[in-house]
Amino acid sequence: MDRGAIEKRLSDQKDLLTNLISKAKSNGIEQVEIYSSYGYSEDVSLEKNDLNNCTATEENMFGIRVIHEGNQGFLISNHIPSLYTSIEEAYQLAKSQSTPDPDLVLPETRPITNQFDTYDSSLDTIGIEDLVSFAKEALGWRSDLYDKINIDSGDFSLNKGYKLIVSSKGVMAHELGAELSASVMGMGVDGDLVGSFDYDSASGFTKDQFKTLWKKAFHNFGDKCMGALYAKPTTGFQGKVLLPPDAVYSFFLGLFIGSLNGTSLRKGKSKMAGKIGEKVASSLLSIWDDPTNKGFMGSTGFDREGMPTSFKKVLTEGVLESYFYNTYEAKKAKLPISNGCATGGAQSLPGCGPKQLQIAPGNANKDEFFKLPGKTLFVNRISGTKDGASGDFSGVVKGGYLLEGGEKIPVREVQIVGNAFDALNQIEAIAKEGELIGESSFVPYMLLDGFTITGVMEN
């Protein structure tokens, strides 16, 4: 499957979906939306430190949404010949409901100014044999450098395809894409000693980009697994935590971003309701959403509803500047239109959320974070519980380190509790350095203070 074949399929499908919607309108079904997601992939998997399987798959999913007099019907299909029947079934689902909401409508079409095409035709020269070569190379890295790591699973994929949305309101948008990606999951094992599992991944638009990023990701994975292998318990303390980029959102920012969701706001489940223009975080923290950066994975010119995406400020020096709305939630909030933040795909109704979050780097040097006086807990990840409404979180730190006196000591059985909204104001410093997470979101290292860390000591 090459670019030419995918473009031909896309062109034919545009005509098909347009005709189906016209037929539906002529039969009195006025509000119809079809979201098509097509993908062709070749995959090579790893299992238990060895090659496992090679596959090639092709899938085309359609999310069919019909709105009738404030009621909504939604169906998922992968059968092109019966798509019109699915439209009729979604229509009947909408008609059968008895709780109409006048704000539930399909959005009117709006011009899309950013056109994205992330399909580099050089990937058409890549095949299963290349993926096998990448997999064998990774197994060689493990054997030569990390022989005490057990690779539980891994995957190497070449993905090509498109997304397409067409609606009876005149919406028509599509994007092509292709990428190489890989992931690995495993843990360090030395006899009866087993470390906590870890994970890493990388993806790229071209072979060279992918290979560079994947090598870095695999070695990062190896270092984290080995660091966790010989971890020891430690005593608890009150003090600082150092978050690497991977941990920033999982530790506290993810809960905060979730509180800016239009649905959470409407349902009264967000502590950020009514706080636009207010200072809700440390002045050190600035965040924006930029799905229009064509150099990043996941960038897109339109959202799940075919509405244009745009750069938007979320936090500026701690001051809250925006929420995330799809069309329905925007109307419930008395806004004229959404802000291009509908999330999801063919297998889901539109949700609300950001596309491509970026965090502004700070002025600190991350190397200095590792030399601070006293004790600092380096948090790789947390296994525990979170509550989106309250912001409370608690859990056991996995792959963590105690930083003390210039030493980096792997620790285990360390627990931490906190609150995401309190943590916004516990940021002590943000580093200039960071990582591009998922090749899409820049996240710097962060130092936070004022946490209670609970530990134990071996007898």
In order, the DSSP letters of 188-215 are EEETTEE---EEEEEEESSHHHHHHHHH
- The DSSP secondary structure of 48-111, one letter per residue, reads TTEEEEEEEEEEEEEEEEEEETTEEEEEEE--GGGHHHHHHHHHHHHHH-----TT--PPPP--
Cβ neighbours, 10 Å, residue 21: 23
> Along the 459 residues of the chain, how does pLDDT read in single tens digits?
899 999 999 999 999 999 999 999 999 999 999 999 999 999 999 999 999 999 999 999 999 999 999 999 999 999 999 999 999 999 999 999 999 999 999 999 999 988 889 999 999 999 999 999 999 999 999 999 999 999 999 999 999 999 999 999 999 999 999 999 999 999 999 998 998 889 999 999 999 999 999 999 999 999 999 988 888 888 889 999 999 999 998 888 999 999 999 999 999 999 999 999 999 999 999 999 999 988 888 899 999 999 999 999 999 999 999 999 999 999 999 999 999 999 999 999 999 999 999 999 999 999 999 999 999 999 988 888 888 889 999 888 988 999 998 889 999 889 999 999 999 999 999 999 999 888 889 999 999 999 989 986 544
Determine the pLDDT at residue 110: 97
- The DSSP secondary structure of 231-280, one letter per residue, reads -B----EEEEEEE-HHHHIIIIIHHHHHTTBHHHHHTT--TTTT-TTSB-
Task: Give every CB contact of residue 400 below 8 A, 6+ residues apart in sequence.
Answer: 231, 377, 378, 379, 380, 410, 411, 412, 414
Task: Give every CB contact of residue 187 below 8 A, 6+ residues apart in sequence.
Answer: 149, 150, 152, 194, 195, 196, 197, 198, 225, 228, 229
Phi–psi pair at 155, nearest 5 degrees: -150, 135
Phi–psi pair at 404, nearest 5 degrees: -155, 125
Q: Please state, in angstroms and rounded to a whole number, the distance separating the CA atoms of residues 29 and 62.
A: 18
Q: Give, for 25, the enclosing helix (H) or strand (E).
A: helix 3-26
Determine the pLDDT at residue 457: 55
Determine the pLDDT at residue 459: 41
Determine the pLDDT at residue 413: 84
Cβ neighbours, 10 Å, residue 286: 21
Cβ neighbours, 10 Å, residue 319: 17
Query: Which residues pair with residue 47 across a beta bridge?
Result: 50, 153
Question: 158 and 214 in contact (C-beta within 8 Å)?
Answer: no
Predicted TM-score (pTM) of this structure:
0.93
Cβ neighbours, 10 Å, residue 38: 21
Domains of the chain: 3-226 (3.30.2290.10), 231-459 (no CATH)
